[in-house]
Chains A and B, each alone.
Chain A
Amino acid sequence: MRRRTTTAVLGSLVLLTATGCGAADMTKQASPFANAGGTKSVTLSVQSWVGAQANVAVAQYLLQHELGYHVDTVQVDEVPAWDALSQGRVDAILEDWGHPDQEKRYVEDKKTIRRAGGLGVTGHIGWFVPAYLARQHPDITDWKNLDKYASLFRTAESGGKGQLMDGSPSYVTNDKALVKNLKLDYQVVFAGSEAAQITQIKQFAKEKKPFLTYWYAPQWLFEKVPMTEVKLPPYKEGCDADAAKVACAYPHTPLQKYLNAGFARSGGKAAAFLKKFRWTTEDQNEVSLMIADQKLSPQDAAKKWVDSHPSVWRKWLP
């Protein structure tokens, strides 16, 4: 019995090496669902926030209806999306908030990812309080006065301190360090996902309760729950270099697009189109709001926007 097993194992090994003489480069494999109908296909990565969905929905609609591509979308977090982009599992990231480590590794060193220009939208992260609260206490919008109001923001989770609500673990945040370095009487509570954070913000707003939250612009939720930014010590180049010592606000980031290097070279009209894709914060918000608030499907929202803004997207077509 034992001898037979050994022979079998040996045999299969020999067979494997014999048939496996060609290398299988797993960094160049497409999705099994791609090109199913035999059409040209593009795979776009979607991140979890609605702004990213809006970009992808419009790009997808135009690629399908104007250029005749089949478009697959894959939802991935930001850092894994870079990895997927370098391997060609996805062809493009349309909204990147700045990942210096990844840029160095894949764009500069390995050259598997290419820059594709700006999206036209500038992103900004900050601390926000609802507008109704800022009207009641106008001085609450300066970080120096936050301690005075800490008791307003107390919840069951914050353990006697004020609650600063953070969101998804995939977001860039220095909030724990900020609270510590600015010596604030606050506790950072991680909602754990953007969906949980938005749901909670909406619940607070419905009852006009005070809350302090990490949030970012552009974001459609501002249209539903107007919020005012809390002033933090001003941002200076490099003040956030050491993650443990950060004591300044977040920068304003022009959002960037990235393409897989191979796709950028031989992606034809689709690659050319994605490079030219560039719109404004207002445009993006319009689509986002249709998706998240009016509950239109991304495709329907994109169609509505495309039908009403032909002058904007005509310029993107190759």
Chain B
Amino acid sequence: MASLTVPASRTGTPRVLKSRTAGKLLLLALFAAVLAPWAAGHWPGAAWPHDLTVSVTKPLTSASDWVIDHRDSHPLFLYFFGYISNAVVLAVRAVYLTLLAAGWPGVTVLGALVAWRVAGPRLAAGTAVAFLACGALGMWVPTMQTLALMVVAVLASVAVGALLGLAAGLSDRMDRALRPVLDTMQVLPAFAYLLPVVLVFGIGVPAAVLATVVYAAPPMARLTALGLRGADPEVLEAVESLGATRRQRLLTARIPLARAELLLGLNQTIMMALSMAVIASVIGAGGLGDRVYQALASVDVGQALAAGIPIVLLAIVLDRVTAAAGTADDSAARPKTIGWVYALAVTAAAALAARLLGRLDWPSGWTLDIAAPVDRAVDWMTNHLYSGVPVVGGTADWAGHFTTWVLDPVRGGLEWLPWWSVLLIVAALAWTIGTWRTALTAVLAMAAIGVLGVWQPALDTLSQVLAAVVVTLVLGFATGIAAARSDRVERALRPVLDVFQTMPQFVYLIPVVALFGVGRAPAVAAAVVYALPAVVRITAQGLRQVDPAALESARSLGATGRQQLWQIQLPLARRSLLLAVNQGVVLVLAVVIIGGLVGGGALGYNVVLGLAQGDLATGLVAGAAIVCLGLMLDRVTQPTGRRAKKGA
């Protein structure tokens, strides 16, 4: 049904849309003509009026004091949070001790055999090499700590996500109720909820695992719901006609049919949990993230990289293995591989052999020192590129120019605009591409920032985000187009993108500062590095999926490569490009806090300050403001995608 209505509406939209847009804007202009003079007369000045702010400092401070004073006596903590915390500690400890008992030979063998079983011999070899590399970098024990943390966090996220997804997939009301909750969970910067979690659970593993679950469960929930809803109605009807009960239908038809989505959900959850493992090190989670963070303290890029590489390797291995498990539907078609029982037996044999030989710990002599050469390379780079490069100028000069010519005018312009006109612009943008509902959400989100009393820093952050998004999109679209047009470029790019996407952001803080100095420019650079891979990937994929028939016919009409790109590929890939814009915004916003660590100031700095000083009010308000910014930017950039999703 849906596929029939789409082309009909597509041909009809442009003119209708145009007149509608004009109508909306006219209505908004009328509205503004009445209200703006009144607002401007009542609260003169460009900044958000002080009368319209609400201070939440006092309630938040007293809430945090209450928690600290009652943590060891109130039943809520003794009988509820205490059990959760205990369960997490016990579970992580159990996994960790098991990994240690297996020793490095046991873990490596098990990893390789599991990879072999689900994804074939090539990935098995890759997995083994990855584990050995972790050991060779001198990071065996931290890797095992991170792995233990990950196993528990992923299991918990999958359980929570699957439950939520099941509810949303089976009931429309639950679906509507859950959607904003999941949205918030994903936009909320992780740093912002580290603080309340730490307050309740204290520094350490339980808090880290719970923060990870909050972050990693939403994709599982979304994809589970999507899978359940997308089940082929004919199959379901057939099952129903066989007289199956609701539960039988769910277990025998809907869940098996949603297998691909469920596995994709697992894959996404693992990736998000892993990226959180590093951020969680700020609250004492230990493991690899902690090593990266400690190396940062002594300004040691080499050491940070040595701890960052195992994270990248773990991420790539886990991604490839779970992705392979997701695509390999017909296990019968694959050649018979090793069975589970054999795999376990071989693992046990390896672990036992290691134990008998007394070789459970990674041998201390078998390590490779990469820190020194990396530090030399970074030193060379910063010595030669920082300034005084003939003709083009050094990176520090670029950063200065970027700040003066781009960041300052954008920020100045935003701050010059009267507050009510900012709301109007947001409303106009959101309404022209969306419905009055999305416009209302966007305006309310923006207004909430003012009410919370962080209007000024939020505009500062917004200016940085806008600049970073523009740079990301320009670079990302260009690279994406190149990758879509040439297989060789794409093959060469793939590992680079993998590394940039999974390398913990802490690792490149120092090189970024060494190249661009302290300030907003390095913050923008860090954001671009982080958001670029996703934009490149989505762009390239979108262009490649353009109907080959359309391209072929264009080619037969004698269109040049450039004409094909501009007139066929780009317009047809419009949805993907819009998605790339949206992802660019979301990811840039996610690094705002990292930007706070290199001089970005504004909201990002406030969140870090809140965490470092145990100041719940500053940290949470700034975090909430970032969420509002995210909500507003999302509504302004992606209303069409949202409406389409609703139908799915």
Which A residues form the contact surface with B (CB < 8 A)?
1, 16, 20, 23-27, 29-33, 36-37, 46, 48-50, 53, 72-81, 83-84, 87, 89-90, 105, 155-157, 159, 165, 168-170, 189-200, 203, 206-207, 291-292, 295, 297
Query: Given A80-B198, A165-B518, are A193 and B598 neighbors across the interface (CB < 8 Å)?
Result: yes
Could you say which of B403, B519, B604 has the most chain A C-beta atoms within 10 Å of its C-beta? B519
B102 to chain A, nearest CB (A): 13
Partner of A89 from B77, B92, B204, B519 at Cβ < 8 Å: B204
- The answer on a CB contact under 8 Å between A25 and B598 is no
- The answer on a CB contact under 8 Å between A24 and B518 is no
- The answer on a CB contact under 8 Å between A1 and B598 is no
Partner of B613 from A31, A33, A170, A198 at Cβ < 8 Å: A170
Q: A30-B89, A80-B612 are in contact. List 17 more A-B contacts (CB 8 A).
A: A1-B246, A24-B78, A75-B284, A79-B613, A80-B198, A80-B283, A80-B284, A83-B203, A156-B400, A169-B609, A192-B598, A193-B509, A195-B299, A195-B509, A195-B513, A196-B518, A200-B518
* Per-residue interface assignment for chain B, residues 146 to 163, with 1 indicating a CB less than 8 Å from any chain A CB and 0 otherwise: 001000000000000000
Number of interchain pairs (Cβ within 8 Å): 218
Measured in the bound complex, the distance between the Cα atoms of B204 and A26 in whole Å is: 12
- The answer on a CB contact under 8 Å between A32 and B203 is no
Within B517-539, the residues touching A (CB, 8 Å) are 517-522
B566 is an interface residue with CB less than 8 A from chain A: no
- The answer on a CB contact under 8 Å between B203 and A23 is no
Partner of B599 from A24, A75, A189 at Cβ < 8 Å: A189
Closest Cβ neighbor of A198 among chain B residues:
B299
- The answer on a CB contact under 8 Å between A195 and B296 is yes
B576 is an interface residue with CB less than 8 A from chain A: no
Partner of B203 from A74, A169, A194 at Cβ < 8 Å: A74
B53 is an interface residue with CB less than 8 A from chain A: no
* Chain B positions within 8 Å of A169 at CB level: 596, 605, 608-609, 612-613
* Per-residue interface assignment for chain B, residues 589 to 624, with 1 indicating a CB less than 8 Å from any chain A CB and 0 otherwise: 000000111111100110011011110000000000
Residue contacts A-B, CB under 8 angstroms, 6 given: A25-B78, A29-B89, A157-B519, A165-B518, A192-B596, A192-B608
B396 is an interface residue with CB less than 8 A from chain A: yes
B297 is an interface residue with CB less than 8 A from chain A: yes
* Chain A positions within 8 Å of B521 at CB level: 156
Query: Given A80-B203, A157-B519, A203-B517, are A32 and B79 neighbors across the interface (CB < 8 Å)?
Result: no
- The answer on a CB contact under 8 Å between B612 and A170 is yes
Measured in the bound complex, the distance between the Cα atoms of B460 and A126 in whole Å is: 29
- The answer on a CB contact under 8 Å between B519 and A24 is no
- The answer on a CB contact under 8 Å between A203 and B386 is yes
* Per-residue interface assignment for chain B, residues 298 to 313, with 1 indicating a CB less than 8 Å from any chain A CB and 0 otherwise: 1110110000000000
Query: Given A156-B519, A190-B599, are A32 and B205 neighbors across the interface (CB < 8 Å)?
Result: yes
- The answer on a CB contact under 8 Å between B299 and A24 is no
Measured in the bound complex, the distance between the Cα atoms of B596 and A146 in whole Å is: 27
B148 to chain A, nearest CB (A): 7
Within B367-425, the residues touching A (CB, 8 Å) are 371-372, 375, 382-383, 386-387, 396, 399-401, 403-404, 408
B218 is an interface residue with CB less than 8 A from chain A: no
B72 is an interface residue with CB less than 8 A from chain A: yes
- The answer on a CB contact under 8 Å between B601 and A199 is no
B497 is an interface residue with CB less than 8 A from chain A: no
Within B284-299, the residues touching A (CB, 8 Å) are 284, 286, 290, 293-294, 296-299
Closest Cβ neighbor of B86 among chain A residues:
A24
Partner of A203 from B148, B514, B597 at Cβ < 8 Å: B514
* Per-residue interface assignment for chain B, residues 194 to 230, with 1 indicating a CB less than 8 Å from any chain A CB and 0 otherwise: 0000100111111000000000000000000000000
* Chain A positions within 8 Å of B298 at CB level: 50, 53, 291-292
Partner of B598 from A24, A26, A33, A196 at Cβ < 8 Å: A196
A119 to chain B, nearest CB (A): 18
Within B98-120, the residues touching A (CB, 8 Å) are 100
* Chain A positions within 8 Å of B303 at CB level: 295, 297
B616 to chain A, nearest CB (A): 11
Query: Given A156-B521, A165-B518, A295-B372, are A29 and B297 neighbors across the interface (CB < 8 Å)?
Result: no
* Chain B positions within 8 Å of A190 at CB level: 599, 601, 605
Partner of B79 from A20, A29, A31, A33 at Cβ < 8 Å: A20
B17 is an interface residue with CB less than 8 A from chain A: no
Measured in the bound complex, the distance between the Cα atoms of B203 and A79 in whole Å is: 11
A13 to chain B, nearest CB (A): 12
Closest Cβ neighbor of B200 among chain A residues:
A26
Query: Given A75-B290, A89-B204, A189-B518, are A196 and B612 neighbors across the interface (CB < 8 Å)?
Result: no
Measured in the bound complex, the distance between the Cα atoms of B408 and A80 in whole Å is: 35
A93 to chain B, nearest CB (A): 12
Query: Given A31-B286, A80-B198, A295-B300, are A192 and B605 neighbors across the interface (CB < 8 Å)?
Result: yes
Measured in the bound complex, the distance between the Cα atoms of B284 and A185 in whole Å is: 40
B145 is an interface residue with CB less than 8 A from chain A: yes
Measured in the bound complex, the distance between the Cα atoms of B201 and A84 in whole Å is: 10
Query: Given A83-B198, A169-B613, A192-B596, are A27 and B375 neighbors across the interface (CB < 8 Å)?
Result: no
Measured in the bound complex, the distance between the Cα atoms of B510 and A295 in whole Å is: 15
- What's the tally of chain B residues with a CB closer than 8 Å to chain A? 83
- The answer on a CB contact under 8 Å between B79 and A24 is yes
* Chain A positions within 8 Å of B438 at CB level: none
* Chain B positions within 8 Å of A189 at CB level: 518-519, 599, 601
Q: Which 5 A-B pairs have the closest CB atoms?
A: A24-B82, A170-B612, A32-B93, A84-B203, A169-B609
- The answer on a CB contact under 8 Å between B599 and A76 is no
A103 to chain B, nearest CB (A): 14
* Chain B positions within 8 Å of A105 at CB level: 68
- The answer on a CB contact under 8 Å between A33 and B145 is yes
- The answer on a CB contact under 8 Å between A83 and B294 is no
* Chain A positions within 8 Å of B96 at CB level: 32-33, 36
- The answer on a CB contact under 8 Å between B204 and A196 is no
- The answer on a CB contact under 8 Å between B513 and A200 is yes
- The answer on a CB contact under 8 Å between B519 and A36 is no
Within B334-376, the residues touching A (CB, 8 Å) are 371-372, 375
- The answer on a CB contact under 8 Å between A76 and B382 is no
- The answer on a CB contact under 8 Å between B371 and A295 is yes
- The answer on a CB contact under 8 Å between A168 and B93 is no
- The answer on a CB contact under 8 Å between A196 and B599 is yes
Closest Cβ neighbor of B371 among chain A residues:
A295
Query: Given A83-B614, A156-B399, are A53 and B294 neighbors across the interface (CB < 8 Å)?
Result: yes
Query: Given A32-B205, A295-B302, are A74 and B286 neighbors across the interface (CB < 8 Å)?
Result: yes
A285 to chain B, nearest CB (A): 14
B24 is an interface residue with CB less than 8 A from chain A: no
- The answer on a CB contact under 8 Å between A74 and B290 is yes
Could you say which of A72, A77, A169, A207 has the most chain B C-beta atoms within 10 Å of its C-beta? A169
Measured in the bound complex, the distance between the Cα atoms of B206 and A89 in whole Å is: 11
Measured in the bound complex, the distance between the Cα atoms of B529 and A278 in whole Å is: 45
- The answer on a CB contact under 8 Å between B202 and A83 is yes
Query: Given A155-B519, A191-B599, are A80 and B82 neighbors across the interface (CB < 8 Å)?
Result: no
Partner of B297 from A16, A155, A195 at Cβ < 8 Å: A195
Measured in the bound complex, the distance between the Cα atoms of B202 and A26 in whole Å is: 8
- The answer on a CB contact under 8 Å between B296 and A157 is no
- The answer on a CB contact under 8 Å between B598 and A27 is no
B500 is an interface residue with CB less than 8 A from chain A: no
Measured in the bound complex, the distance between the Cα atoms of B514 and A79 in whole Å is: 29
* Per-residue interface assignment for chain B, residues 255 to 296, with 1 indicating a CB less than 8 Å from any chain A CB and 0 otherwise: 000000000000000000000000001111010001001101
Partner of B612 from A78, A83, A200, A295 at Cβ < 8 Å: A78
Closest Cβ neighbor of B209 among chain A residues:
A32
A115 to chain B, nearest CB (A): 20
* Chain A positions within 8 Å of B613 at CB level: 77, 79, 169-170
- The answer on a CB contact under 8 Å between B509 and A32 is no
B544 is an interface residue with CB less than 8 A from chain A: no
* Chain B positions within 8 Å of A195 at CB level: 296-297, 299, 509-510, 513, 597
